[in-house]
Amino acid sequence: MTAKTIKSAMMQAHEALATALDAKIGNMLEWQAFRHLDRELLALEAEQPEQQPTLAATLQRPRIRVRLNDAPPSYMSLADQALTETGKPISTARMLDYIAERRPLSGDNIAKAKIVVQSSLSKDKRFKSVPWEGKRAWWYADKPLPKRESAT
């Protein structure tokens, strides 16, 4: 394996792990601060002159300066936003549509993104799966179900 291949594989693993953690804990201020520092450290490494390659220099990614507020919103913050906007439970499929309109699905195909979103919703104590209109949908764990609109 060449250094370039190792670097590429390690960066892919780093990004995959960061993306998974973004989905799970992306709404935590501590995680957002860590991601900001991570990006800034990699950017600083990219600015150093290449005299003697260090491990960090070998593993650097292209310099992309991102402010904390410029990071894409986490899947769970978008789920919260979707429920707030609609005011009613949302199926996983509709939740994915909502999320996909507001951020890239981390380069994953839709099936993989669905698994990540559904798993994250299941583990997040703010949300629960509820029966809604003859199907399962996601709603807040601490809020009563809204009244169903009657067809008139």
Give the model confidence (pLDDT) of 56-110 as tens digits.
555 555 555 555 566 778 888 999 999 999 999 999 989 988 988 888 775 557 7
- Domain stop point among 13, 35, 70: 70
**Which residue type sits at 104?**
P
pLDDT band of residue 113 (cuts 50, 70, 90) is: confident
What's the longest Cα–Cα distance across the chain?
75
Whether 114 shows a pLDDT value over 70: the answer reads yes
Question: What are the tokens at 76?
Answer: 């769970």
Q: For residue 151, tell me if it sits in a domain.
A: no
Do 53 and 4 have their domain in common?
A: yes
**Which residue type sits at 38?**
D
Check residue 111 and give its pLDDT: 78
**Which residue type sits at 105?**
L
Do 58 and 16 have their domain in common?
A: yes
Tens digits of residue pLDDT in 15-70: 778 778 888 888 888 888 888 777 777 666 656 545 555 555 555 555 555 555 66
* Tally of domains in the chain: 2
Structural domain harbouring 135: 72-146
Are 100 and 92 in contact by the 8 Å Cβ rule? The answer is: no
Q: Alpha carbon of 122 to those of 17, 21, 44, 89, 129: distances in Å?
A: 19, 15, 37, 14, 8
Do 64 and 85 have their domain in common?
A: no
Question: What are the tokens at 139?
Answer: 């709603």
Do 64 and 81 have their domain in common?
A: no
- Domain stop point among 70, 89, 106: 70
Check residue 22 and give its pLDDT: 82
Residue matched to tokens 């991601």: 35
- Domain stop point among 70, 97, 125: 70
